[in-house]
Structure 1
Amino acid sequence: MATKFEIKTDKAPSMDQTKFPFSQAISYNGMIYCSGNIGIAPGTTTTIEGTVTDRTVQALKNLTAILEAGGSKLENVVKVNVFITTMNDFAAMNEGYLQFFKHPLPARTCVAVKELPLGTDVEIECIAHL
């Protein structure tokens, strides 16, 4: 039977689990399931200033660090879910997103939601193989 284990790194934000009860990622059966990441720099608890592109870039830097801590890499991502607070930010989010992903691009869903944690405007989660 495959073992499930937590992936944790200080190279990505780690929130107080009493307020935010989730792991940065879980590895199971050759796959890594990353929790949603927002534009928070490691060691801080507030979103970075700037544009949705800037926060997209920071969220993807965080995901990169988490994947590497779990023995994977961004090139191994097979599925991405992106949450933005308005579809007006779709192009700006893509501008940051395409700095990290090359062809073949992973499967992706992007939806607009009413609100995201800490008042941010973009959150990204992903699934990758080892």
Structure 2
Amino acid sequence: MAAHGKPKPDGQPPPPPPPPPGAKKGFMRRMFPFLLAANLFVGVYVLVRTYRKDSGKDPATDPATVSTSSAGKPAEPVNVPRKELPPIPQDEQRHLYKWMLEEKRKIKPRNAAEKKKLDEEKALLKEFIRAGSLPSL
């Protein structure tokens, strides 16, 4: 009688049938161990990499510690040579100013102060475009 799904004589319902072998687990249940391991490996990698960077520095050759450990002398600023570029021709400058003016015209101001600022910038660009000689850049 218990095989037909009827309750047993002791009053308990029959146990649910066991899942068939090879039944798929839920996606998260399968992925959780993988994600946990991947996260652990990435954390260890970052920790080891940071540790190697910090331990690889020698305080005697580190420029930050050398300049602060000197007897109160301020560090000399390093002079980096500036790269001199050739002057931009006036035709290209005018073209650039016209492009800037077109882009300013596309901007939609949100309030009166922003509109006033845009108008001043556009007026300045118009002056540069109409001028006989342009300021050097």
The TM-score with structure 1 as length reference comes to: 0.19
Greater CA radius of gyration, 1 or 2? 2
The TM-score with structure 2 as length reference comes to: 0.19
Structure with the bigger percentage of helix? 2
> Which structure would you say has the larger RCO, counting Cα contacts within 8 Å and 6 or more residues apart?
1
